[in-house]
Chain A
């Protein structure tokens, strides 16, 4: 059974590791997932989880993923906003599969997945 004692051991282990995660600079990608009633009902939670899992799997250290309120386009939820290279990209009608593709193609390789962008929906 996981206990708080184990957490103390984890803390010691993490403190002794040199942290190269905190290097987020100007090349940081910020990802936001709309998490109001409309987003939640449309499936925003599995999309958020897929983004987090994919970023973790690929060990992406310069990506920050968070949730936000209603983006104002309830019909197009789940919505994911990606802020990269000084630009904002709005992905609509997202699914966990599409989210993984956005991480792979846009966040990692720098090519926005145009077919999921708002202009095309």
Chain B
């Protein structure tokens, strides 16, 4: 992965595969401390302790098309290679929470990339899942809550071109503008 936004997409795809109905994605940056954090939380099927203990090892997967799961190990590596931290918590039947913390200025930190585009893709391509996406930096906070959007739209799908165009700008102005081009 060349962009952290792609890791976020990939980890969220795991949540969707786990049958999550609600996924929250939080991006927080503290430029003074030179730290950023990505956290993804879902209410999907969760993992038992045995699976959980193995998922950060790239030979675990529940997929049937090949035997190696790469998503979680890649996400973990993206953080740890910058001197940051990684954590995963999961409970069978309840859900999963994964976070990664980065040293922003570290030479091995991948750029965030097209985070707004990833959020737009997740929100519009998964009509039966609700997403709460928050971005926080410099004491400013922006939120996209798709359940609120759906309530206003009252049955008009999020992937209608007009709605997608609105969401694209909404995400840009309310989420991406918080960190600007700094990540």
**Chains A and B bind each other:** yes
Residues of A within 8 A of B (CB): 1-2, 4, 6-8, 10-11, 13-15, 21, 35-38, 40-41, 45, 48-49, 52, 56, 66-67, 69-72, 74
B9 within 8 A of A: yes
Contact between chains at B117 and A7 (CB < 8 Å):
no
Contact partner of A37 (CB less than 8 A), chosen from B71, B154, B164, B170, is B71
Contact between chains at B163 and A10 (CB < 8 Å):
yes
Contact between chains at A7 and B153 (CB < 8 Å):
yes
B149 within 8 A of A: yes
Q: How far is the CB of A59 from chain B (nearest CB, A)?
A: 8
Q: How far is the CB of A100 from chain B (nearest CB, A)?
A: 17
Looking across the interface, which residue of chain A has its beta carbon closest to that of B64? Answer: A72
Contact between chains at A66 and B125 (CB < 8 Å):
yes
Residue pairs across A and B with Cβ atoms less than 8 A apart, 30 shown, are: A1-B173, A2-B166, A2-B170, A4-B152, A7-B153, A8-B152, A10-B162, A10-B163, A10-B166, A11-B156, A13-B162, A14-B162, A21-B160, A36-B10, A36-B71, A37-B13, A37-B69, A37-B70, A41-B70, A45-B6, A45-B117, A45-B121, A49-B117, A56-B164, A66-B125, A67-B121, A69-B63, A70-B63, A70-B65, A72-B66
Q: A11-B153, A21-B160, A40-B9 given; name 14 further pairs at CB < 8 Å.
A: A1-B174, A7-B153, A8-B152, A11-B154, A14-B156, A14-B163, A36-B63, A41-B1, A41-B70, A45-B118, A48-B125, A70-B63, A71-B65, A74-B66
With contact pairs A49-B117, A69-B17, A70-B63 given, residues A7 and B125 touching in the complex (Cβ less than 8 Å): no
How many B residues touch A, CB cutoff 8 Å?
Answer: 34
Q: What separation, in Å, do the CA atoms of A21 and B164 have in the docked complex? A: 15
Q: What separation, in Å, do the CA atoms of A6 and B170 have in the docked complex? A: 10
A10: chain B residues within 8 A (beta carbon): 162-163, 166
Contact between chains at A6 and B166 (CB < 8 Å):
yes
Contact between chains at A40 and B152 (CB < 8 Å):
no
Q: How far is the CB of B117 from chain A (nearest CB, A)?
A: 7
B34 within 8 A of A: no
Contact partner of A67 (CB less than 8 A), chosen from B117, B125, B149, is B125
Contact partner of B121 (CB less than 8 A), chosen from A7, A49, A72, is A49
Q: What separation, in Å, do the CA atoms of A48 and B70 have in the docked complex? A: 21
Q: What separation, in Å, do the CA atoms of A116 and B46 have in the docked complex? A: 39
Looking across the interface, which residue of chain A has its beta carbon closest to that of B3? Answer: A45
Contact between chains at B1 and A11 (CB < 8 Å):
no
